[in-house]
Amino acid sequence: MTAIYKRELKAYFCSMTGWLFLAANIFLSGLYFFALNLRFGYSSMANTVYSILFLLLITVPLLTMRMMSEERRQKTDQLILTSPVSVGKVVLGKYLAAATIFTISTLVIAVYPLILSRFGTVSFGESYTALLAYYLYGLSCIAIGLFISSVTESQVIAAVLSFGALFLGYMMNSITGLISSTGNLLTRILNIYDMTSRLENMMQGTLELKSVLYFITFTVIFLFLTVQSVQKRRYQVSVKSLQMGAYSTGMIAIVLVAAVFLNLAAGELPARFTSIDMTAEKLYSLTDTSEELARNLSEDVTIYILQSEEKQDTTLKQTLDRYTDLSGHIRVEYKDPVVNPNFYKDYTDGNISMNSLIVVSDKRFKVINYSDIYETQVDYTTYSSTVTGYDGEGQITSALAYVTSDDMPVLYTLEGQDELTLSTAFQNGLTKQNAALQSINLLTLESVPEDAQGVLIMAPVSDISSDDADKLIAYLDKGGKILMTTSYVDDFAASMPNLQKVLDYFGLSVVNGLVLEGDSSMCYQQPTYLLPEVAYDSLTNGVAGKKYIFMPYAQGITSQETEGVSITPLLTTSASSYSKTDINQAQTVNMEDGDAAGPFDVGVHAEKTLEEGTAQLTLFTSENLFTDNANTMVADANLTLFTNVVASMSDSEVSVSVPVKSYEASVITVNDGTAFTIGSVLMLFLPLGLIIAGIFVWAGRRKR
């Protein structure tokens, strides 16, 4: 086999075939790399790799057309077939020679992410997963081309048939869609030859082991068919030849059945064993929150998808597969609106789009519109929209919790003192927590509503009235729960005496002045932008030990021993921190005489044991803590903290609010000079150098 391999590999480089193949692949991959990555700043190679797939439909037939057909035309195949080398080794040697040429061009492309890493953060997992898919696809194409080359003596016919076969595999998904939009037996059979659909998940960043197995078995099958095609020419037409034909047909049937069975068996394995999420944002993995919810389900839930199974959103399907793998109580059914046009009307009066979900249990149902699955951003200068985030997991987890919960919590947010209005991200967090949020002004009410499972006091600018404070204390006496954030004031007790009465209930007070952090590792850019230490607690689940909390302009919290009250620090500054007691008159950001020394608690959870129940207060001393600006600085860590507190107020064991997963990858910035220099090397100098080298080798060989 080694001799065959060396002979074929030498033949590629002694002719122009190998040189042209390398030049064409490097030129086109360099072109897309220059356009998409260097110029437009994409940090992932997935789009680049997917764009050059079509080139293989042209270059692979040119690479493989002479492998067997030329030997057959010149009758030199008889020398090989009568040699002591088995047919299998002959075929494998030729295949490996072509695969080597393809591997060289792929290795050049593999350098591209390393080049990008010099200019920014690169999604290596996504890039190399996509490149692996491209490589496996190319190896399968070579196997197909080799087989077709073995059944004809004409190189031209072999090239044309190979192109046709590869084009058919490239377009099969579109062809079956034209045959039937809903799918049938014929389309399922034809889709066995659908090569590009197997690439989609891997091009999106999922290492799909089922797809890897598909391409490996696909390659093995066509190599086996090539062996059988060549083997038959060893025998003359005789009884022995007929026996050999029967043997070959039987073996082909056995191999095909074995391959189908192997792929079907792999398809039945849970997605958690066969799909590895390689994306930087873990777009297709479930968070601990969703996994815990799914595993603990005790009620049956059906998720209806308004689409045919063949046309379903592949990203959404991956997410749903994760849920069904975790729980036998979750079942997915497809309801194609073409077949069942009125199905959704049992659940909603409005129109909903294709690929929308309806989550149903015995208690209630929830409709998830497909437009809520993806977060988009509109550019009003061009009136075009861009997908910026994926919220499939967040919406589904929230819906599962909603349809299986015994009751729906109601939270009230205090108004009347210019309180902070929750942004869309934090309102969505409450919605996903299945908590209804209503506003109240205690001046117009005799007391906090009886159905209140929690009250939010979000950074009031002015003080509440004494009567309002009494109403809140009366609410706490009944086991009430309050989440409070405070605005910065020099002397909180003097400026907000009535809110201080609420804090006195738990023995808490706010330190005069503004906290500055002296430890550079616990602040961001400036000492007032705190990155406090996060304590391990149920309220900080998913944050402690994993993420920073960004807390600008905070004040310290002190406590005094109060009967029946326990205080749990949640966010704490370092021992190097200090509080500027007169920030307006400060001469320096460094610690001065009169400043209070740290460390300080800037977030606490207080509980007071009552005769019946427990009163709770969660206090944070930064009005900007639960805002979009602060939250985006720490990848939704502030939002996670917020939803954890809301979950505790609504008696949930854990938060079921999962933040939107960003689609916005980091941008690569390359100056024009560098981009054009790299592009020139890849698109001009390297391909041209290969062609010139090929001409010299070919011309030198012609002279001998």
403 within a domain of the structure (yes/no): no
Q: Which residues contact 383 (CB under 8 A, 6 or more apart)?
A: none
pLDDT of the residue at 96: 93
573 within a domain of the structure (yes/no): yes
Q: Are residues 244 and 333 in the same domain?
A: no
Q: Are residues 184 and 219 in the same domain?
A: yes
Enter the DSSP assignment of 560. -
Q: Are residues 330 and 235 in the same domain?
A: no
Residues 586, 563: Cα–Cα separation, whole Å: 38
Lowest mean pLDDT among 113-117, 350-354, 431-435, 543-547: 431-435
Domain count for the chain:
3
Q: Are residues 196 and 295 in the same domain?
A: no
pLDDT band of residue 648 (cuts 50, 70, 90) is confident
Q: Are residues 605 and 513 in the same domain?
A: yes
Give yes or no for a contact between 22 and 100, defined as CB atoms under 8 angstroms apart. Answer: no
449 within a domain of the structure (yes/no): yes
pLDDT of the residue at 241: 46
Instruction: Give the CATH number for residue 462.
Output: 3.40.50.880
* CB-count burial class (<10 Å; 0-12, 13-18, 19+) for 571: buried
400 within a domain of the structure (yes/no): no
9-36 residue pLDDT tens:
888 888 888 889 999 999 999 999 998 8
395 within a domain of the structure (yes/no): no
Our CA angle for 170, 175, 180, nearest 5°, is 145
Q: Are residues 97 and 123 in the same domain?
A: yes
Give yes or no for a contact between 312 and 355, defined as CB atoms under 8 angstroms apart. Answer: yes
396 within a domain of the structure (yes/no): no
In this structure, what are the phi and psi dihedrals at residue 416, rounded to the nearest 5 degrees? Answer: 120, -10
Query: Tokens 């509440």 label which residue?
Result: 464
Residue 348 pLDDT more than 90?
no
Instruction: Give the three-state DSSP class for 523.
Output: strand
Residue 652 pLDDT more than 70?
no
Average pLDDT, the chain: 84
Ramachandran area for residue 507 (φ above 0: left; ψ -120 to 50: alpha; else beta): left
Residue 490 C-alpha from the chain's centroid: 45
* CB-count burial class (<10 Å; 0-12, 13-18, 19+) for 612: exposed
Lowest mean pLDDT among 107-121, 365-379, 629-643, 670-684: 365-379
Residues 25, 19: Cα–Cα separation, whole Å: 10
Give yes or no for a contact between 444 and 472, defined as CB atoms under 8 angstroms apart. Answer: no
91 within a domain of the structure (yes/no): yes
pLDDT of the residue at 240: 46
Q: Are residues 128 and 181 in the same domain?
A: yes
Give yes or no for a contact between 283 and 315, defined as CB atoms under 8 angstroms apart. Answer: yes
| 44 vs 515, higher pLDDT | 515
Instruction: Give the CATH number for residue 330.
Output: 3.40.30.10
Q: Cα separations (Å) of 539 from 264, 350, 482, 602?
A: 44, 38, 14, 15
pLDDT band of residue 236 (cuts 50, 70, 90) is very low
Q: Are residues 92 and 230 in the same domain?
A: yes
Query: Tokens 């207060």 label which residue?
Result: 617
642: containing domain: 409-662
Across 442-450, average pLDDT: 87
pTM of the model: 0.68
- DSSP string for 215-283: HHHHHHHHHHHHHHHHHGGGS-SSHHHHHHHHHHHHHHHHHHHHHHHHHHHHHTS-HHHHEEE--TT-T
- Alpha helices (H) in 484-636, listed in sequence order: 492-495, 497-504, 628-632
* CB-count burial class (<10 Å; 0-12, 13-18, 19+) for 225: buried
Q: Are residues 657 and 675 in the same domain?
A: no
Q: What percent of the chain has pLDDT above 90?
A: 29
1 within a domain of the structure (yes/no): no
Q: Are residues 433 and 534 in the same domain?
A: yes
pLDDT band of residue 606 (cuts 50, 70, 90) is very high
- Please give the structure tokens belonging to residue 362: 């015995």
- Please give the structure tokens belonging to residue 357: 């979900």
Amino acid at 405: S
* CB-count burial class (<10 Å; 0-12, 13-18, 19+) for 123: buried
Q: Are residues 252 and 374 in the same domain?
A: no
Q: Are residues 352 and 499 in the same domain?
A: no
Lowest mean pLDDT among 29-38, 105-114, 269-278, 338-347: 269-278
Residue 75 pLDDT more than 90?
no
Q: What is the dihedral of CA 468, 472, 474, 480, to 10 degrees?
A: 160
Across 484-491, average pLDDT: 90
Strands ordered across the beta sheet of 514-516: 514-516, 578-580, 596-597
- Please give the structure tokens belonging to residue 43: 């940090």
Most confident of 251-255, 384-388, 651-655, 659-663: 251-255
| 382 vs 172, higher pLDDT | 172
Residue 585 pLDDT more than 70?
no
